[in-house]
Chain A
Amino acid sequence: MRKLALNDEILLNIEKPARYIGNEVNSVMKDKNQVDIRFCMCFPDVYEIGMSHLGIQILYDMFNRREDVWCERVYSPWQDLDQVMRDENIPLFALESQDPIRNFDFLGITIQFEMCYTNILQILDLSHIPLHAVDRTEADPIVIGGGPCAYNPEPLAEFFDIFYIGEGETVYDQLLDLYKEWKKSGQSRIQFLEQAAEIPGLYVPIFYDAAYNEDGTLKSFTPNNIHAPARVKKQVVTEVTEAPYPMSPVVPFIKATQDRVVLEIQRGCIRGCRFCQAGMIYRPTRERNVDKLKEYARTMLENTGHEEISLSSLSSSDYSELKELVLFLIDAFRDKGINISLPSLRIDAFSLDVMSKVQDVRKSSLTFAPEAGSQRMRDVINKGLTEDDILEGAGQAFEGGWTKVKLYFMLGLPTETEEDMKEIARLSDRVARRYYEIPKEQRHGKCQITASSSFFVPKPFTPFQWAPMYTADEYVRRAAVVKSEFQEQLNRKSLKYNWHDAETTVLEGVMARGDRRVGKVIEEAYRLGCLFDSWTESFHNERWMKAFENTGIDIAFYNLRERTEDELFPWDFIDIGVSRKFLRREWDRAMEGQITPNCRMHCSGCGAASFGGGVCYESKN
């Protein structure tokens, strides 16, 4: 029997001990003496969140297909266990073998959102791995980061040995082969990193120097080692259908956020919303073959025993074989008690029809993401959704029996006026009005319109990367404007308005567009006790503010200025295929309120065609 890293006394006194015992169905056990490389994959948040992440499942499966690699998993120990591990000096361990991570060859960390940065330091700290890459020796694992936040890795640069820019299916094999050779050779850690830096898509931060102008902006960013390229090119899988996909994903014992089979139907998005980072960094849009997906669905349901299957993509409605796939899923699995979940669908006659088949209309709610209240604002952000679309969709839904609608908005978008803010409330009211147009005897009581707004955070590699943000007070003021407008509405009793926290928005802003110097604040915040910052109950803004004060890092510099057209950005050394020229053109069009057609309607020449696949070549096949 496996020996657990934590004893009974500890396990019985912490919340959800199942987070730490491993042994889940489809988790992979190997003989550690029979493998050359031990890789530990980490999602720096609590188990239930981390286990819901598709990317790790894909890489876990892909690595474990190799006989010479054993890939295991680790997640952030929750606050209760964190304290015990520090008090009793227990090193952080991987779930499968329960062995200390410090003894592994690689620690791979997926970086999905900014508010997990202190958790990354917790993982290193509890593993007894030096926080700074420069302090690590041949005895420490290679710490490698990936995921969307790796597209501006600079705030985390000091803590990682390597960042992997792009999709994991492409050059990991090359890196693992290289590592095996290096391990045999007896060369130094630096020599390994030099060779790794030559692999396309891999960024080794210690091989680059940043210099700054007097005003604090970046002056230059240059390699200091001949093995490091000046620009690092994002890696993409050209043929997604051919890419490995986990047929037997790990099934957690405890309920994870995503407790279902996930079918990734496509990567990328054709829409080009100007605030959306995913829409740019995952270009070009590439679809998986529908027959392959059908086969995957069947096999994965058999291998996991899950009772639900969900489609995953940035915009499912744009998948060209959506109808065929959805009808197949309903047909093949509905009467076997399998729930079918269809997120990110545009509301139209087809989607309402299938949704009425797969969910209880009276209980479920429909979601629209207009993102902005006024048409002017929606044109600025290039959200190709008109008010007619929304009211028409909502109307059809109400007539189909739905009474609950959720609306998602953003506040603090570039050029936003008081009128734009108020339109959020007014649009919500017009949706409610549409409901009450239905004759009383045909409708089911009151409708419930829930509008939520988050505050916009400009992200690298988007047309809005030049945009200024606001102070926390200003965000709160904007939310108050919306809130009071809601109280003016005719159907206010059917409307509900929630808004996102302003303090974390400010921090996200600093991390998202920060440079290397921001790493100091993260480390200081961690030293002051910040951890699980994305969890309201454990977020301490005052500690973060203290960290800024102690390190002399100025929030205003990162958030409040509009960046000039020619400013050198910390992330400019990364080549995502989409050109900076295109992004700037989109910024200019945004300022003029001009919309840009989607990739299928008209190619805008963003540059992603350089990858030689996907939607860019669809019509040319």
Chain B
Amino acid sequence: MKARIKFRKYGALRFIGHLDVMRFFQKVMRRADIPIAFTGGYSPHMIMSFASPLGIGLSSDGEYFDIELTEPIDSEDAVRRMNEACVEGIEVVSIRQIADEKKMTGMTILAGADYLINIKQGVLSDGWQERFHMFMEQPEIRIVKQTKRSEKKVDIRPMIWKWEIRGDRIFLQVASGSAQNLKPDLVMEAFVRFLDEKKDKTATVDRKAPRAEDFGYHRLEMYADMGVDGKRKLVTLESMGKEMRRAE
């Protein structure tokens, strides 16, 4: 049977990269004695797949990975055991049973994600909020996307589904996953370039390209798209699973 684990990542643990988080959770599974299934062969490894890697420096309230269990467990008990095996900076939120079909893994069905972007003091000068409105009101936002082999121009505006200024922060809901994927730092890069092009002296950063540390990125949640006929209907990856109760 399959189960989906949701966890948070914050504080010093932001500096642990994706591969190391995977290794960390493999060890958590052993320390917490979670009955996880292994692949066969000479070097068996745990059946574990992450919905979407989180870059170094980012914090998150909504990270996911799916595992295969060899026997049923109790969700509440398992969450407690896993958290006892974790350190400050990683907290397991839930473990829920999910459908067994392959096409339902977090990685496959991931469609969108919410981010909160923290504008650190002094990075943008006053009035940046209005400029961001102008930026988002453009009919299209073209950026150059680097791939391994080539560069291509893409319009990222359609990939930004929702946006909102929340005080010193920007909330973004963007396309995420295998079909379309937009990272929030690309949006901020485009915004800074927009300010530069406008030669806007009242609202510009003093550097040509903003660096990752200028903005704090926080992932809030990840979604699957359960809509039909091209109508988007986002549901959190967590809500697709159900709590497991130990049989009495």
Contacts and interface: CB of A to CB of B under 8 A. Distances in A.
Contact of A251 (B27, B42, B88): B27
Contact of A253 (B16, B38, B46): B16
Contact of A12 (B42, B88, B89, B213): B213
Contact of A360 (B42, B85, B211, B213): B42
A254 B12 contact: no
A360 B42 CA distance: 6
B20 A17 contact: no
Interface string B208-229: 0001110010000000000000
A2 B15 CA distance: 14
B15 A21 contact: yes
A1 B91 CA distance: 14
Contact of A307 (B16, B30, B213): B30
A1 B11 CA distance: 7
Contacts of A255: 20, 23
B212 A12 contact: yes
A565 interface: no
A317 interface: no
A234 to B, nearest CB: 37
A513 B211 CA distance: 50
Contact of A305 (B31, B88, B213): B31
Given A305-B29, A307-B30, A360-B42, A1 B87 contact: no
A595 interface: no
A5 to B, nearest CB: 11
Contacts of B43: 339, 360
Contacts of B53: none
A52 to B, nearest CB: 15
Interface in B24-39: 24, 26-31, 38
A305 B12 contact: no
Contacts of A568: none
Given A2-B11, A12-B213, A25-B27, A305 B85 contact: yes
Interface string A141-173: 000000000000000000000000000000000
A25 B44 contact: no
Contacts of B216: 8
A134 interface: no
A17 B212 CA distance: 14
A228 to B, nearest CB: 44
B158 interface: no
B57 interface: yes
Contacts of B17: 18, 254
Contact of A304 (B13, B23, B31, B46): B31
A46 to B, nearest CB: 16
A177 interface: no
A253 B20 contact: yes
B61 to A, nearest CB: 16
A303 interface: yes
Contact of B57 (A1, A8, A22, A337): A8
B56 interface: yes
A17 B56 contact: yes
Contacts of B26: 305, 307
Contacts of A11: 15, 57
Given A12-B56, A18-B15, A307-B26, A302 B87 contact: no
A17 B24 CA distance: 16
Given A11-B15, A12-B57, A24-B87, A302 B213 contact: no
A94 to B, nearest CB: 14
Contact of B46 (A12, A25, A337): A337
A254 B20 contact: yes
A2 B88 contact: yes
Nearest to A4: B12
B12 A21 contact: yes
B71 to A, nearest CB: 14
Contact of B87 (A9, A12, A25, A301): A25
A619 interface: no
A306 B15 CA distance: 21
A402 to B, nearest CB: 14
B223 to A, nearest CB: 27
B27 A306 contact: yes
Nearest to A259: B23
B213 A23 contact: no
Contact of B12 (A2, A303, A359): A2
Nearest to A362: B42
Nearest to B32: A305
B27 A305 contact: yes
A13 interface: yes
B122 to A, nearest CB: 12
B116 to A, nearest CB: 16
Interface in B182-227: 211-213, 216
B13 A23 contact: yes
Contacts of A304: 27, 31
B237 to A, nearest CB: 25
Nearest to A360: B42
B88 A1 contact: yes
B213 A303 contact: no
A12 B43 CA distance: 34
A18 B11 contact: no
B68 to A, nearest CB: 13
Contacts of B44: 337
A469 B85 CA distance: 53
Nearest to A255: B23
A18 B213 contact: no
Interface string B75-103: 00000000001011100000000000000
A211 B69 CA distance: 71
A23 B87 contact: yes
A404 B136 CA distance: 61
A302 B31 contact: yes
Contacts of B87: 23-25
Interface string A67-91: 0000000000000000000000000
A347 to B, nearest CB: 21
Nearest to A11: B15
A17 B15 contact: yes
Contacts of B15: 11, 17-18, 21
Contacts of B29: 305
Nearest to B33: A302
Given A17-B56, A304-B31, A360-B42, A22 B213 contact: no
28 contacts: A1-B11, A1-B12, A1-B88, A2-B11, A2-B88, A8-B57, A8-B216, A9-B211, A9-B213, A11-B57, A12-B57, A12-B212, A18-B17, A18-B20, A23-B89, A25-B27, A253-B20, A253-B24, A255-B23, A301-B30, A304-B31, A305-B29, A305-B30, A305-B31, A305-B85, A307-B26, A307-B27, A337-B45
Given A23-B13, A339-B43, 9 more contacts: A9-B211, A9-B213, A11-B57, A12-B57, A12-B211, A12-B213, A21-B15, A23-B87, A25-B27
Nearest 8 Cβ contacts at the A-B interface: A305-B27, A305-B30, A17-B15, A305-B31, A360-B42, A21-B12, A9-B213, A12-B213
